[in-house]
Structure 1
Amino acid sequence: MCALSLVGAGVAFAFLATVFAQPFTQSSQTVEITDLVVLDAKTDEVESVFPKGAKIQIEVRFTDLRNLTAYDDDDPDYDENYVVVFEVRDDDDKLIYSTDDTLDGNTELQLEPEERKKITYSWNAPFDTDSGNHQIIITVRDAENFSNIQDEQTRRIIIQNSAASLFVSRSSIDFGDVEDDDTPQARIIVANPNRQAGDLIWKVVELPDWLELISPPTSDDDPQESVLVTNNQTIILQVRSTTLKGSFDDRLKIESNAGTSTIDVSISLDRNANGLLSQLKVRSSIYKPGDEAIFLYRVKNDGAVTMTYSVTFLVKGPTGSLFYNSNAEGHDVMLGPLDPNDESDTMEFLWTIPFGTLAGDYELAGQLRGYQAFEFLFDDVPFPSDAGKSGP
């Protein structure tokens, strides 16, 4: 039986179960865009025509227009702060890209009188954008008054379709039945048979969660996409060891400046994963509000694959309602990896009993799940009033 008792000012645990155009001028202008250059990031050459998928580099130079002799170093207005916005629009003025819409956001720029600085941007021309004229727009705004534009410059570029060809060696992959610790791989050859027509630029997109990319590497921005690849390379896919069970019929795509190819991928997974909370108990039975209650726990891997687990601790109050849930509080414990048949040492989990907690009997329960596979509940040690499960 697992009972947590608060008696008077004390909490008692009775636990018997274990369980970027022309310069924009204005009277108050203090900064100017003095240079805006567009380059091919691959060759570092100035260009104005790019194929879809190309990585474009934009270098912007700024000059502070204030007279240095008019300021002292300790003048509060010595440093001026600005915000730089980088945008791309098509011939119809449709917004294609803006740093306003990205996670990293716009660039902060701080200048001293007469100071010059350079900012470099990189942008991949989308495969799905319309071919034709596009405008790269760089705008400098006051940091404290974003509606006040200090300067704005534009450059026209052309994004065009490529005459390159896309060859993909496979249209479908069936990984079959996968058990235990098997992590099968598959290879797909991507090639450009028409190199004289130009470079093939491509990437893998929409990678299913149960697959990982060994080659090419994944993008830093999106784990379900690869980096951009030029011309020929072999894709190497591998089944993730962390995907435990299920049958999946999915597809991944290869997007390129020569079109899109879809590959069907399927698998049936049963890794025979399991685990056991072989110990769950409270170190002491009597606590006061503000004390740290110590829960002792141990985990055993009684499955067939190496596992990392997530342990949840639950405390039920005297009224029968759930008083504490470590998962809801973001306090679940990660334990592992444990090889099959291995058991952890006895571990401690500290729960600080809130001040103002009412006296009475409290009960402890626990749940064991797969880490990063929370849907798999391997063990559920119930409250002692519900069942009499115990551990050593």
Structure 2
Amino acid sequence: MAGVASPEKATSVKKKGERKCAIKEESRQLSSIMAVMNNLRKQGTLCDVTLLVQGRHIPAHRVVLAAASHFFHLMFTTRMMESMSHEVELRNADPEIIELLIEFIYTARISVNSGNVQSLLDAANQYQIEPVKKMCVEFLKGQIDATNCLGISALADCMDCPELRAAAADFFQLHFTEVYKLEEFLHLNVQQLTYLLHQDKLTVRAEAQIYDAAVRWLKYDVCTRKQYMVEVLGCVRFPLVSKTFLSKTVQAEPLIQDNPECLKMVIGGMRYHLLSLEDREDLGENSRPRRKKHDYRIALFGGSQPQSCRYFNPKDSSWTDFRCPFEKRRDATAVFWDNVVYILGGSQLFPIKRMDCYNVLKDSWYSKLGPPTPRDSMAACAAQGKIYTSGGSEVALWHTHT
């Protein structure tokens, strides 16, 4: 009979509903218990350990710390001296950061921002509080750009964060031609530099850009780095450099003219261009990936329609909707820069202060701080890594009358 569920299906639906209710009740009960524990901690009631951090005393309960941190679990459940001591000193720790971590352990709430993320990650890694470490990693992944990707990669290595390191490496490989021109790149040591330049996945328009990066690094401190010339220029695949660039630019470089080994590499690259196509294929030279020709798309963001984000692909004249987790805006402005769409201003019953960001390559959304004064219908453009805004009108809170 149409429209009537079978008894088995009805029972299954009922059981799922009961499980959801049980999970919600369990979560509510645990939150309630931890709220009581946190109040006891703040009052110093039933606390059986005090963390001493640079002269500051932070009372807590051993069982709670041990349940949240493998570090404290080992400290309090083994024969370590601290397991019997009422006061435990945490050396080389920041008292503000430790208090944030203790507050998180009791409340599951913490504020991660650009000012504390590195210290929080360091402490969460040391005291093995995985949820905080994961939140710091997610925050830093959203902050990766050309100016910091190398630093974040080094931080990820120190903190044993492979996911963060992979994200920084992906960004570096994709934006290599932008990163190598910045100051951070020039401060790499020779081992870091050669490791990066040897990577097959560097996205370049021409191998000459690898050569340019290598020479820029050498010339930044030529007296000290001249000894590494063969090692560094050995990262350049000279057969992939154009014959014209080799003869006019590379061969004329004084650093190379004064180094027989490097000059030999360049001559080998020039000889490669004299070979037949079959002989070149026999040598099996691997080319680095080039930037792919993109399917250019026209994207729409905002408005009051049910689906506020979609793009039009001129190649096949098709429209495609994609998910936006944030509320829709009216009279907003969208700016595109470095594969990210920035949506600023606008309103939806209330002024929207934040700036929503959509990473086209990663198909991911995140938010950043918007203009100081919420505005709509403003003009905006991006140039050289900065977003400029002008005009628009201040957004007042909308009122509804009954």
TM class by smaller structure: under 0.3
Larger radius of gyration: 1
Higher share of residues assigned helix: 2
| Relative contact order higher in (CA < 8 Å, ≥ 6 apart) | 1
Question: What TM-score, normalized to structure 2?
Answer: 0.24
Question: What TM-score, normalized to structure 1?
Answer: 0.24
